[in-house]
Amino acid sequence: MNRRIALVAGVLALLTAIAGTAAYFTGRADSPPTTARPTPSPTATADAPPPGKGSVPPPPSTRDPVVFAKAAARVLWSYDTRTTSHRAEVDSLKRWMSTERKYTDWDSVNAQIPEATLWSRLSDNAQRATAVVGEAHMPQTFKSALAEDPGAITEAYVYAVTVTGKQTIAWHGGGAGAESRSTTLGVQCRPKTDCTLTGIAPQVAP
């Protein structure tokens, strides 16, 4: 198997190259990834507060890819359209991203955020979501590939981490719902440097 560290647009091509997991980590799948933010049909309401300038929490200071991935998943699965504008949400999530464009796929993260018009409709409906993160681990394919070629990680230092949890959504009038969540994230943790997010895989790696 050809071994190369090419991390195409930061979507974990490390796994694609060294473990044959292209189905998980080669940018866009044939169909776009399902949004991490399911939405009920909003109905306008006069008592929903307008969106403000609130933002998601800043990224944690950690060099552990699993710890970082759990925090990132919680942020990706949580939002509050009552207090946060669409622009603030986007700008805040960008601060979680690696600044190394060669290894970063912002589009895969941006795809999880409702576009501006929909965000406005959700705000009219006072929609918000909270998340509880359960378990996180590096997929077996990644660990096996790393064991076979330990030096392969040392170019990009991008790790694959699969996170599972539960997202609870609420909206105006007492509406609520919940569902299980699972996603595989690309996390860059260079030596002596805090971890950052590189992207979201189009499919979950077990």
Instruction: Enumerate the H helices of 45-160 as residue ranges.
Output: 65-76, 86-94, 106-110, 116-124, 140-148
What is the model's pTM? Answer: 0.77
Q: Would you call 116 helix, strand, or coil by DSSP?
A: helix
As a whole number, mean pLDDT of residues 60-82 equals 97
Q: Is residue 116 predicted with pLDDT exceeding 80?
A: yes
Q: Is residue 14 predicted with pLDDT exceeding 90?
A: no
List, edge to edge, every strand of the sheet that includes 158-171.
79-80, 128-137, 158-171, 175-188, 196-200
Q: Is residue 59 predicted with pLDDT exceeding 50?
A: yes
Q: Which residue has the higher pLDDT, 57 or 17?
A: 57
Do residues 127 and 39 touch, judged by C-beta distance below 8 A? Answer: yes
Supply the mean pLDDT for the chain. Answer: 80
CA–CA distance from 11 to each of 6, 15, 102, 108 (Å)?
A: 10, 9, 10, 8
As a whole number, mean pLDDT of residues 148-176 equals 95
CA–CA distance from 140 to each of 82, 158, 165 (Å)?
A: 40, 15, 19
Q: Would you call 41 helix, strand, or coil by DSSP?
A: coil
Q: Is residue 3 predicted with pLDDT exceeding 50?
A: no
The burial of 112, by beta-carbon neighbours within 10 Å (0-12 exposed, 13-18 middle, 19 or more buried), is given as middle
As a whole number, mean pLDDT of residues 160-171 equals 97
CA–CA distance from 120 to each of 43, 48, 50, 117 (Å)?
A: 11, 11, 9, 5
